[in-house]
Structure 1
Amino acid sequence: MLYSLVIYFSPLKDLKPRHDLGASLHAFFYNLLRSGDGQYATELHNKDVFKPFTVSPVEMMKRDYISGPGLTGMPAAFPRGSLCRIRFTLLQARPYFHLAQYFLNHGRPFSGPHLNGIPLEILEVRVVQTPEEPGAGYTEYRHLWEQAAAARRITMEFSSPTTFRQGDVNLPLPVPRLIFSSLAAKWRYFAPDYPLHPGLDEYVEKYVALAEFNIKSALLDYGRNRKYVGFKGRCSFIVSGGDEHQELAKQVNMLADYAFYAGVGQKTTMGMGQARRLKCTGGD
């Protein structure tokens, strides 16, 4: 199973981080998970392989969020009592069950969790996608596998800085090979029952091209000399090839859908690489 949880909260004191909150968001997730199952949280933290979760940056919302999302942007500080939003995606069922148990054991609202040393009041947790909260949702790997179509145009939005490790440097550009190989690596790890075509990487290299883009660069400073430049914005890709490539085209489309949960590129457990496919009229 795949899950996307959106958590609404308010800081009980002014949250004024000196750096981007990547490490604090990472710790925030583990602390919530540890409250549900401490042993599993420790096991997961110690693994060197892919982590089965992503974390979004914190966003500050308008107070009338129940009737609509109304983002006000990403301020450098989050005042006491402000309405904030964070999104966790889970690539396996097990962490979801532990987080669900934790939230079910508390009423709403409730306080206790901390972010960057500041206590928070949890107001609401959403897992069902609605027009008011498109960031929530859940699905199955099987569903993504079976419902994939061989669309020839894919449009994606990258809502947090995205970059890729290439040797000793980072490449903050929407290169199709890097985007889809990042997604394919996670799919192969977490969904081995639905094997990708062995020629998928070669197909992407030859037949998937960047058609248009509207992106900008963004810097994340995690402190301790950890700075990352990434790209944000929208990109469209053309998926070409003949009838003999139909199955490969479907798998590229499936991976684009998977990005909503898996994230793309580096540091997806620290707020980077948040991505989703857009259903564009006349495009897909």
Structure 2
Amino acid sequence: MTFDPTLSLNAVVVNLIVTQDGHVPLTQGALAHAAFLDLVRAADPELAGRLHDSGARQPFTISPLRGLPAAQPNAAGYRLRVGHRAALRLTLLDPALFIAFLQRLLAAGPELRLRIGDVTFAVEGALGTPGSHPWASYTTTAALRQAAGAESRIRMLFASPTAINLGEKGPARQRMVLIPIPQYVFAALRGAWNRLTGDDIPIEFEAWVADYVFVREVRNWQTAVYQIKRGTYPGGLGDVTFEALDTGSPHVRTLNLLADFAFYSGVGTKTTMGMGQARRL
């Protein structure tokens, strides 16, 4: 596999309005995931089937619902009433997936509905152009690589629980990193970038990050438990500034590239279920 410079990356914020009272659970990632696959299935059943059955990392991410009530939820979740507005963010990293999404939006028009929990939402619109929303934009892999800067300080917001899965080792069945250790954050992004684009950022980059990239500042970091189906997944979220001390290295540009890429790819595990939403500040 060789680097694909034309691969499109899209981040879309879908604005929703409640059309039927109901509850959504405290974490909605799995339900939002299912609602998105239903949307794709209506436009391209074969593509939706491949996404559902694939064991590989899938070429999209989904946020938790945005704009939920500020009041404390109860055990059943959030009570939403007709007229309440919310939003769902999608990133689409496959041209066929983006086309299917657009086809469904255009074909259904104002009649398009999404069901999350026992709440039915109408789709009021979708924002996907640069500047239309802080979490919306589009680019290509070539443009992203060309635009990568050489800033030694990189500030990032991890907006939903984020965890790096290091896999099994010996008696440890699951090793999750819940704090923003640069070595693990950028190793995860390097792997995601290489798999998606066909690029070959070398493993030496990870060793350089381990030696020369540190956390300069952490703001409002907290850990949370994220419920997905019948399992629980811990994660961390907050505002972090990373700093590269070896500012003359060509790896600094790679560091910036991967920080920019996180906007589209998410960071860590379960990004198709609401975890790992991230962007630069």
TM-score by length of 1: 0.87
Q: Please report how far the alpha carbon of residue 223 of structure 1 lies from its aligned counterpart in structure 2 after TM superposition.
A: 4.7
Identity rate, percent: 30
Deviation at 1:143, TM superposition (A): 0.8
Please state whether the residue corresponding to 1:159 is helix, strand or coil: strand
1:22 positional shift: 1.6
Structure 1 pair 198–228 and aligned structure 2 pair: CA distance change class (3 A): closer
Q: Tell me, yes or no, if structure 1 residue 261 matches structure 2 residue 267.
A: no
1:187 counterpart residue number: 193
1:242 and 1:218 map into 2 onto residues whose CA distance is 34
Provide, for residues 142-172 of structure 1, a one-character-per-residue CA deviation record: whole Å limited to 9, x for no partner. Answer: 0111111221100000111111223323221
User: Structure 1's 18 and 5: CA in aligned 2 closer, same or farther, altered over 3 A?
Assistant: closer
Tell me how many residue pairs correspond in the alignment.
Answer: 263
Q: Say if 2:25 and 2:117, in contact at 8 Å, map to a contact too.
A: no
* Distance (whole Å) between structure 1 residues aligned to residue 72 and residue 144 of structure 2: 31
Contact 2:30 2:229 in 1 (8 A): no
Measure how far apart 1:72 and its partner are: 5.6
Paired letter, 1:8: N
Structure 1 residues 154 and 18: CA distance shift in structure 2, 3 A: closer
| Cα gap change, 1:51 to 1:223, in 2 (>3 Å) | closer
Alignment of 1:183-262 (within 5 A): 183-192=189-198, 194-214=199-219, 215-224=221-230, 226-241=231-246, 243=248, 245=249, 247-262=250-265
Q: Aligned AA for 1:236? A: T
Cα distance per residue 1:57-100 (max 9 Å; x no partner): 10127xxxxxxxxx968964132220010000011212001101
Aligned to 2:5: none
- Structure 1 residue matching 2:22: 3-state secondary structure: coil
| Pairing 1:1-284 to 2, within 5 Å after superposition | 1-60=8-67, 76-77=77-78, 78-107=80-109, 109-130=110-131, 133-166=133-166, 167=168, 168-192=174-198, 194-214=199-219, 215-224=221-230, 226-241=231-246, 243=248, 245=249, 247-278=250-281
CA RMSD, Structure 1 to Structure 2 (Å): 1.9
Deviations 1:99-133 (A, max 9, x none): 011111132x32433222432211111111326x2
- SS of equivalent residue, structure 1 residue 60: coil
Quick one: which amino acid aligns to residue 123 of structure 2? I
CA–CA separation in structure 1 for the residues paired with 2:128 and 2:71: 22
Pair 157,74 (structure 1): closer, same or farther in 2 beyond 3 Å = farther
Q: How far 1:232 moved relative to its partner?
A: 1.2
Q: Which one-letter code corresponds to 2:153 in the other structure? A: R
Q: TM-score with structure 2 length normalisation?
A: 0.88
Question: Where do 5+ consecutive residues of structure 1 fail to align?
Answer: 62-70, 279-284
Which AA in structure 2 matches 1:196? I
Q: Answer whether contact 1:60 1:74 (CA < 8 A) is retained.
A: no
* Partner secondary structure for residue 197 of structure 1: coil
Partner amino acid, structure 2, of 1:220: Y
Q: Unpaired runs of 5+ in structure 2?
A: 1-7, 169-173
Rounded to whole Å, the distance in 2 between the matches of 1:273 and 1:242 is 27
